[in-house]
Structure 1
Amino acid sequence: MAGRVLSERRGATLVLTLDNPARGNALDGDMLAALATAADDVAGDRDLRAVVLTAGGERAFCTGADIGAWGSLDPVAFGRQWIGDGHRLFDRLAALPVPLIGALNGATFGGGLELAAVCDVRIAAPHALFALPETGLGVTAGWSGLQRLGRLVPQALLREMALTGARLTAARLEAVGFLNAVAEDPLAHALAIAQRCAGLAPRAVEATRLVLNAAAGEGREAAIDGLAGMMVAMTEDSRAGREAFAAKRPPRFTGD
């Protein structure tokens, strides 16, 4: 896939790899666009059961937004384009119809930590560090990271990270429940979880993810509409309505 994001299908699992290790897999415009394309592909693939998100190299999962991509933007472009593009992408990833599993193979800073917060399950390497360094750069976390992290880690810990730029270890974030596990090979661990997902009923998993997201305040309106739509679309009345429309006659509803 263009834009320094590699895509590899492994059975019913799609592995997406951020592939710019020379720059700590920092997110730039091309990478955001490639992830958006991947999200579209996932949404249209009925045979897919899980997505694993990881990165190239061993030093970093993602060190945040590439300052070269946004550092020269004027305030209006920064807010409307850069922040807006990231928001839309992260919301799309959060709304995927399949579980998103993060294999965090190294430093996970700033926008990288916000990206990790979108995942349903997070596995980290023992040497991985986590930080929100934005205030040291004169900006704030801009891709809903503080809101999502506020639902995933204790407030005291989040404030330490956001207000001081502290770098926290994988062990500390596993202890508070942000990480599901710390593993020497986070990708292998993530793939094993994806394999378990593949053995479950796909529409039940999709509906469960919608409900979990709604309970956490993630896309509540879309979740309600989506669940209602799926339920009604399975009824005989829905079929009768579509057939009547195609035949240009009044529908005959039975309540089934």
Structure 2
Amino acid sequence: MNMTDPYVKQNIENGVATIEFFHPAHNSLPGDILAKLAQTITDAGTNDEIKVIVLKSGRDRTFCAGASFKELININDAEAGRIFFSGFANVINAMRKCPKFIIGRVQGKTVGGGVGLASAVDYCMASKFASIKLSELNVGIGPFVVGPAVERKLGLSGMSQIAIDADSFYDAEWARSKGLYMKVFETNEELDKEVIAFANHLCTYNPEAMAEMKKAFWTGTEDWDNLLAERAVISGRLVLSEFTKETLKRFA
């Protein structure tokens, strides 16, 4: 594999599955990576060898740049748009339904769909460089698919603040104060040390108890299969708007 090839990979050690995704364009998420991520999380949920999951991205800088601009630019009909945005819906729903606790490791800036991933984990730790931005309004769309997950963590006030102020990054301490991050670390080394220690400690608990707790934590989201699918249709329609097409041309 070339050093710059995109991937989703999983490593299992002492009951901890580390699922890592990477894309050379700042860990953006094209459709094939989203599909692999959803499937890997789903499979990990049914693997008895795995007690806890750690979700992370490759390299040291950006955690996730969100949707792939290359793919957004090439969407030319509503069905293609729906399918693309359904990729984010499928990952969030896979995380929601997975009976294992998922720990997020956010080492750097995260944008758009990446904020959705960070919001859909069960316990998230970050470095001080992990500022967040919901930039979708900038390109004429809106954080429709990831919105429910972000709102569940930040509350409606926090989510709407960053969704409307789509030009601004909000720093890691702001995200921690709103409940997105549990802990923020000075360095990635400290972050990694704490994530692994915490994951290993969780492996000493009763898996049945953790599965029941996870179900309880996600009570009230049972309609998300339908809700996020409906939201994907909205985003798929908006990506075809004249405003969005013109804006994406500038990014291209």
Tell me whether the two structures share a fold, i.e. TM-score over 0.5: yes
Mapped to 1, the partners of 2:131 and 2:163 lie a distance apart of: 14
Unpaired runs of 5+ residues, structure 2, are 226-252
The question of whether the paired residues in 1 share the 8 Å contact of 2:35 and 2:90 is answered with no
Residue aligning to 1:205: 210
Q: What is the identity percentage for the equivalent residue pairs of Structure 1 and Structure 2?
A: 22
Residue aligning to 2:222: 219
The question of whether the paired residues in 1 share the 8 Å contact of 2:21 and 2:37 is answered with no
Question: TM-score normalized by structure 2?
Answer: 0.80
RMSD of equivalent CA atoms? 2.1
Runs of 4+ more than 6 Å apart: none
Residue pairs, 1:183-194, within 5 angstroms: 183=185, 184=187, 185-194=190-199
Mapped to 1, the partners of 2:223 and 2:217 lie a distance apart of: 10
Instruction: Measure how far apart 1:78 and its partner are.
Output: 4.0
Instruction: Measure how far apart 1:221 and its partner are.
Output: 9.9
Mapped to 2, the partners of 1:95 and 1:174 lie a distance apart of: 24
Instruction: Measure how far apart 1:16 and its partner are.
Output: 1.1
Residue pairs, 1:1-256, within 5 angstroms: 4-20=7-23, 22-143=24-145, 145-165=146-166, 166-183=168-185, 184=187, 185-214=190-219, 217-219=220-222
The structure that has the greater radius of gyration is 1
The question of whether the paired residues in 1 share the 8 Å contact of 2:62 and 2:110 is answered with yes
Mapped to 2, the partners of 1:212 and 1:154 lie a distance apart of: 15
The one-letter code of the counterpart of 1:209 is K
Instruction: Measure how far apart 1:194 and its partner are.
Output: 1.1
The one-letter code of the counterpart of 2:206 is A
Instruction: Measure how far apart 1:75 and its partner are.
Output: 4.0
The higher-RCO structure (CA 8 Å, 6+ apart) is: 2
In the superposition, relative to structure 1, how do residues 3 and 191 fare at CA in structure 2: closer, same or farther (>3 Å)? same
Per mean C-alpha deviation after superposition, the further-off stretch among 193-202 and 154-163 is 154-163
In the superposition, relative to structure 1, how do residues 37 and 150 fare at CA in structure 2: closer, same or farther (>3 Å)? closer
Question: TM-score normalized by structure 1?
Answer: 0.79
Instruction: Measure how far apart 1:151 and its partner are.
Output: 2.1
Unpaired runs of 5+ residues, structure 1, are 223-256
Mapped to 2, the partners of 1:74 and 1:142 lie a distance apart of: 19
Instruction: Measure how far apart 1:157 and its partner are.
Output: 2.7
The question of whether the paired residues in 1 share the 8 Å contact of 2:120 and 2:150 is answered with no
Instruction: Measure how far apart 1:70 and its partner are.
Output: 2.4
Residue aligning to 2:229: none
Deviation per CA, 1:62-118: give whole Å up to 9, x if none: 010111122211241244211223212210111111000100010111000001111
The question of whether the paired residues in 2 share the 8 Å contact of 1:171 and 1:182 is answered with yes
The question of whether the paired residues in 2 share the 8 Å contact of 1:3 and 1:30 is answered with no
Deviation per CA, 1:178-233: give whole Å up to 9, x if none: 2100022323222222112100110111011101111xx222799xxxxxxxxxxx
The question of whether the paired residues in 2 share the 8 Å contact of 1:4 and 1:30 is answered with no
